[in-house]
Amino acid sequence: RMYKRQMMCRRDIDVHNVPFLAIYEFLIPPEEEKLKQKQLVALLEKLVSKEWPTAKLFLYGSCANSFGVSKSDIDVCLAIEEADVDKSKVIMKLADILQSDNLQNVQALTRARVPIVKLMDPVTGISCDICINNLLAVVNTKLLRDYAHIDPRLRQLAFIIKHWAKSRGVNETYHGTLSSYAYVLMCIHYLQMRRPAILPCLQEMETTYSVTVDDVNCAYFDQVETLGDFGHHNRETIAQLVWGFFYYWAYGHDYANAVISVRTGSIISKREKDWTRRIGNDRHLICIEDPFETSHDLGRVVDKHSIKVLREEFERAAEIMQFDPNPCIKLFEPY
């Protein structure tokens, strides 16, 4: 009898696939936005090459990892080969160059944890942040993009979770909640852990791509087009996955002991990472291991107040998915 009831629930929830997919489609950036981004990058390349002829520009973050929704800002990394560049000096110089070429709102933020130049291009209307030599971000962007190509449900799930997090105000690291990058890793990990698995663990497979950046070796299997329809043994739908994701973070995750790890495709223990107590400002109240900088906990921004906010939001979302006849409205209600 129990089994029958559960089956009913699973099928009931599938009526929400249509609205969830409609939200996903609505959030996808239109082709012309991508063209405008390319146009802006080409302009930046031209300006940068005058001052630094051998430098390269890389896109990273949501404009390049395929998890970007419509009207996002773009993240650019200026890679300069000289050893020990003084990043603040480069930032100041870059701001000068951009300022004198009609770009608007040019701001040099030299004191930020990651120093950046911010700007707005009046021609395309796109805002952009440029950082210097942050190549690990470029590499983790590629990892996320490669995961997105394996199964379409990852991109769908991540769009919906990011949209939920932005609507509910829990996507603000300066308020102690999680970055978009952290949410995407949570989605990848969730799909790696499904049985049958929807995503493989690329870092545990044969190495086909390997670079060393800032003394970190980044190696994984990147020939994802050869994986075929990897997740086809698992027929879970987007509505079931959204439900399961929230249920996991509301009631299933062991906050006291567990670290989620995309690198291993499994849960590892806080003890093993020595993340059991507060060190400096890292409280490790929700633990998400960075796939390459494995000493980075992406949950380190979360404090004893914001962990409560987060967990209450996960519980609220799980309740809505379970009981609300119209979850797509309630779930994304502004906070």
Select the residue whose beta carbon is closest to Mg ion and give its number. 61
Please enumerate in sequence order all residues whose Cβ is within 8 A of that of 34, keeping only pairs 6 or more positions apart, or say none: none
Please state, in angstroms and rounded to a whole number, the distance separating the CA atoms of residues 47 and 285: 44
Burial (0-12, 13-18, 19+ Cβ within 10 Å), 156: buried
Using left for φ > 0, alpha for ψ between -120 and 50, and beta otherwise, residue 137 falls in alpha
Q: In the complex with ligand CTP, which residue's Cβ is closer, 159 or 243? A: 159
Is the CB of residue 311 less than 8 Å from the CB of residue 250? Answer: yes
- Nearest approach in angstroms of CB 181 to ligand CTP is 4
Q: How far is the CB of 64 from ligand CTP (least distance, A)?
A: 8
Residues in touch with ligand CTP (CB under 6 A)? 60-62, 65, 67-68, 72, 75, 137, 140-141, 179-181, 298
For residues 16 and 155, which CB has a smaller minimum distance to Mg ion in the complex? 155
- Closer residue to ligand CTP, CB minimum distance, 128 or 250: 128
Q: How far is the CB of 253 from ligand CTP (least distance, A)?
A: 20
Dihedral of the alpha carbons of 80, 136, 88, 39, in degrees to the nearest 10? 60
Single out the residue of 86, 79, 75 nearest to residue 110, CA to CA: 86
Residue 137 vs 201, nearer CB to Mg ion: 137
Partner whose binding site includes residue 65, from Mg ion, ligand CTP, none (CB under 5 to 8 Å by kind):
ligand CTP
Least separation in angstroms between CB 301 and ligand CTP: 8
Beta carbon nearer to Mg ion, 61 or 265: 61
CB of 141 vs ligand CTP, minimal distance in Å: 5
Query: Could you tell which of Mg ion, ligand CTP, none binds residue 60, using a CB distance below 5 to 8 A set by kind?
Result: ligand CTP
Residue 192 touches which of ligand CTP, Mg ion, none (Cβ within 5-8 Å per kind): none
Q: For residues 201 and 335, what is the distance between their CA atoms, to the nearest angstrom?
A: 35
Count of C-beta atoms within a 10 Å radius of residue 102: 11
